[in-house]
């Protein structure tokens, strides 16, 4: 087995030794993460430094694709009357596309029809049609009728204290709380005014990227706490071994669905091994994998339908087909927002339409609606601002409950409402989902536990240390600007370069030595000064604070952003200054590359993937 190594505190650590890495994280959280009550940053939605990057984007126009001859709605794929009128009699072949695994598909039987085709064996079908003079083809998807699924789902198998509600959880890639308000204003207004959504303004990420956002949310554990499923290592597991929350729902009588676009960048397939068996009753990867070889013309379109709307339609159809059944659906869309800050605005009208249709149809009458994101933008120019960097750590997250729920379950609803401004993490969402199945947490949350349910009342004193958030990711700190001329800045730049160059030194024949071109900004992260001084309440009612306490701060945590050459790479890093010894300490895992490396790392992309962020290839 090949061993990969990282520089970590200037000590070589075996990349396979996940236990050692987990122990490091645990130690950092225990010794460095703030144990002071979380003070959320005040981030203006329309701050001028952010708004200069905002542009309006029109809806996706797919008219150049022409009309679709066949459309699927629910389990039926019907040849359209509009196509018959325009092209004359039409006959189509329908070939089921079957999942072999997360990377391979096969064709099922082919059937012919001049009217319609019913989905029974697969949710995905390849359609080829002919009229007297014209041809049309497409890959379509719907919700198949499967009697096995239908017969095993019911409301009777749930625990006696189950909330007995559907769960519709839909997320976007790279969308901060503020970005959702800026780019999806119509949907935001509908969520907050018509659906009375509870906005989790203190929802804080716990790691870098989509897997570190979704794995804890869906399993209650970090990737390091679960069996190794990484592709690049031999003898690792499929992600089937993870204790996914949808399995809990399935075991309690729910029909389940997992929808995710971008087949080449899948959360569980890009870096991890993917699923061996189909993870949920309905799994949309088959559709996106079948479509991945197609060049979408126009861009962002699947035929006459915008690609994002295909997923919206599946959500609607899932709730229609299984109208009387308990349902759990998790959907995640990335195409419009993964690489572009503004493009997601093109989906606002369609998301508004979906929310409106679900509400008017009654689909939300017994449903917990969760609209969320994994994190804020990581690569867009907006992240180059200090506020943009803070917003990365604060993605959008909302819960909406039916009106009746607020009356019947007023106690836990009021608890939930009281948590709007509290510090919340993916671990808490996972426990909250478990409480929907079997309600156990309805009083004051025990913040000595890493995960707390939002149906309990979270104490105001919860901190990043309580919530298992490393200092690097904690947004509960004050951000103090450090002047570039400060003597500490040169030392910060030097240790940043030394750490990166030490990592690549073994491969100096292919990776260039890097140096700083300019330091763009430096901030010092620290608790609010009044929190440091807070001793106790100075009056009986708690309106006046006694700010007489003093605290000896032994370390400062700096963040630095630097432009590095060759290659004009942009790096950000968290660096600890130990005051007593006047030494600096940085971990390679706390250094982020925030612009794309592209072809700069081509020489190591396949053979040494852990160097991709740090290697500028000499050739």
Answer yes or no: is 19 within a domain: no
The reply to whether 254 and 341 lie within a common domain is yes
What is the chain's alpha carbon radius of gyration, rounded to the nearest angstrom?
Answer: 26
The reply to whether 112 and 183 lie within a common domain is no
Boundary residue ending a domain (85, 111, 141): 141
Instruction: Output the CA–CA distances (angstroms, integers) from residue 336 to 131, 344, 427, 612, in the order listed.
Output: 35, 5, 27, 25
Going by the DSSP 8-state scheme, the letter that residue 384 receives in this structure is: G
Which residue segment(s) compose the domain that 450 sits in? 159-473
Answer yes or no: is 57 within a domain: no
Closest CA to 7 of 500, 521, 603: 500
The reply to whether 466 and 491 lie within a common domain is no
CATH of the domain at 238: 3.40.720.10
Helices (H), 468-582: 487-504, 529-533
179 φ/ψ sector (left φ>0, alpha ψ -120 to 50, else beta): alpha
Answer yes or no: is 432 within a domain: yes
Answer yes or no: is 385 within a domain: yes
For the chain, helix, strand, coil in percent to 5 are 30, 25, 45
Boundary residue ending a domain (109, 141, 173): 141
The reply to whether 103 and 236 lie within a common domain is no
- The pTM for the full model equals 0.81
E-state strands within 290-360 = 301-302, 305-306, 327-333
167 φ/ψ sector (left φ>0, alpha ψ -120 to 50, else beta): beta
Answer yes or no: is 424 within a domain: yes
The reply to whether 226 and 332 lie within a common domain is yes
The reply to whether 243 and 187 lie within a common domain is yes
The dihedral through the CA atoms of 460, 463, 464, 466 has a sign that is negative
- pLDDT for res 390: 84
CA pair distance 256, 437, nearest whole angstrom: 14
Q: Are 122 and 286 in contact (CB under 8 A)?
A: yes
177 — phi, psi (to 5°)? -55, -50
Q: Are 299 and 61 in contact (CB under 8 A)?
A: no
The reply to whether 206 and 129 lie within a common domain is no
Print burial letters for 525-546: b (CB count within 10 Å at least 16), e (below 16).
bbbeeebeebeeeeeeeeeeee
CATH of the domain at 78: 2.60.40
If one counts the domains in the chain, the total is 3
The reply to whether 117 and 186 lie within a common domain is no
The reply to whether 126 and 187 lie within a common domain is no
The reply to whether 106 and 164 lie within a common domain is no
CA pair distance 46, 593, nearest whole angstrom: 27
**DSSP per residue, 242-279:** S--HHHHHHHTT-EEEEEE--GGG-TTTSSB---SS--
Boundary residue ending a domain (449, 473, 497): 473
pLDDT along the chain (619 residues), means of 10: 34 63 81 74 86 93 96 97 96 98 97 97 98 96 95 93 98 96 98 98 91 96 94 94 98 98 94 97 97 80 96 98 97 94 96 98 98 87 76 95 98 98 97 98 96 97 90 77 94 97 96 96 67 34 36 75 95 91 92 88 91 93
Closest CA to 164 of 321, 323, 366: 366
Q: Are 257 and 283 in contact (CB under 8 A)?
A: yes
- pLDDT for res 539: 28
CATH of the domain at 606: 3.10.450.10
The reply to whether 77 and 192 lie within a common domain is no
The reply to whether 308 and 179 lie within a common domain is yes
Answer yes or no: is 47 within a domain: no
Answer yes or no: is 30 within a domain: no
Answer yes or no: is 24 within a domain: no
């Amino acid at each position: 087995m090949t061993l990969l190594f990282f520089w970590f505190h200037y000590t070589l650590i075996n990349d396979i030794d996940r236990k050692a890495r987990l122990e490091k994280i645990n130690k950092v959280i225990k010794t460095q993460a703030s144990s002071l009550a979380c003070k959320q940053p005040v981030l203006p939605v329309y701050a001028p430094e952010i708004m200069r990057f905002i542009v309006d984007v029109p809806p996706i126009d797919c008219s150049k694709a022409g009309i679709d001859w066949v459309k699927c709605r629910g389990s039926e794929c019907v040849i359209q009357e509009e196509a018959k009128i325009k092209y004359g009699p039409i006959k189509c072949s329908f070939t089921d596309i079957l999942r072999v695994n997360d990377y391979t598909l096969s064709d099922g039987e082919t059937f012919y029809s001049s009217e319609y085709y019913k989905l029974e064996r697969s949710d995905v079908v390849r359609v080829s049609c002919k009229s007297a003079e014209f041809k049309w083809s497409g890959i379509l998807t719907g919700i198949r009728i499967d009697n096995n699924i239908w017969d095993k789902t019911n409301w009777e198998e749930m625990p006696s204290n189950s909330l007995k509600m559907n769960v519709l959880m839909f997320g976007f890639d790279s969308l901060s709380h503020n970005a959702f308000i800026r780019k999806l204003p119509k949907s935001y207004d509908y969520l907050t005014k018509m659906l009375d959504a509870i906005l989790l303004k203190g929802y804080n990420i716990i790691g870098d990227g989509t897997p570190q956002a979704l794995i804890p949310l869906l399993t209650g554990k970090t990737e390091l706490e679960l069996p190794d499923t990484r592709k690049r290592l031999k003898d690792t597991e499929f992600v089937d071994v993870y204790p996914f929350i949808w399995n809990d729902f399935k075991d309690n009588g729910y029909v389940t669905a997992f929808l995710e676009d971008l087949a080449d960048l899948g959360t569980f397939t890009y870096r991890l091994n993917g699923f061996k068996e189909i993870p949920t009753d309905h799994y949309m990867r088959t559709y996106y994998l079948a479509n991945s070889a197609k060049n979408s013309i126009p861009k962002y379109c699947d035929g006459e339908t915008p690609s994002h709307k295909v997923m919206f339609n599946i959500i609607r159809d899932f709730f229609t087909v299984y109208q009387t059944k308990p349902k759990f659906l998790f959907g995640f869309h990335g195409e419009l927002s993964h690489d572009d800050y503004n493009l997601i605005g093109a989906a606002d009208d369609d998301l508004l339409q979906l929310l409106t249709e679900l509400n008017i149809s009654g689909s939300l009458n017994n449903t917990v609606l969760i609209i969320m994101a994994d994190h804020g933008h990581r690569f867009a120019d907006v992240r180059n601002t200090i506020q943009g960097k803070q917003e990365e750590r604060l993605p959008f997250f909302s819960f909406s409950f039916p009106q009746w729920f607020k009356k019947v379950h007023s106690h836990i609803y009021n608890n939930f409402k009281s948590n709007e401004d509290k510090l919340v993490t993916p671990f808490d969402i996972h426990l909250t989902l478990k409480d929907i199945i079997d309600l156990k947490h309805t009083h004051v949350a025990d913040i000595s536990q890493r995960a707390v349910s939002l149906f309990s009342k979270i104490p105001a004193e919860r901190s990043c240390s309580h919530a298992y958030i490393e200092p690097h990711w904690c947004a509960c700190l004050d951000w103090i600007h450090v002047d570039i001329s400060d003597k500490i800045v040169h030392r910060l730049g030097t240790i940043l370069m030394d750490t990166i160059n030490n990592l690549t030194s073994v491969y100096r024949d292919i990776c260039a030595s890097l140096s700083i071109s300019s330091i763009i900004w430096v901030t010092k992260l620290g608790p609010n000064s009044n929190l440091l001084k807070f001793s106790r309440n100075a009056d009986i009612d708690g309106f006046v604070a006694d700010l007489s306490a003093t605290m000896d701060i032994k370390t400062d945590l700096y963040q630095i952003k630097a432009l590095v050459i060759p290659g004009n790479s942009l790096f950000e890093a968290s660096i600890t200054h130990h005051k007593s010894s006047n030494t600096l300490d940085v971990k390679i895992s706390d250094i982020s590359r925030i612009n794309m490396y592209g072809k700069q790392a081509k020489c190591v992309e396949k053979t040494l993937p852990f160097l991709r962020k740090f290697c500028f290839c000499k050739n």
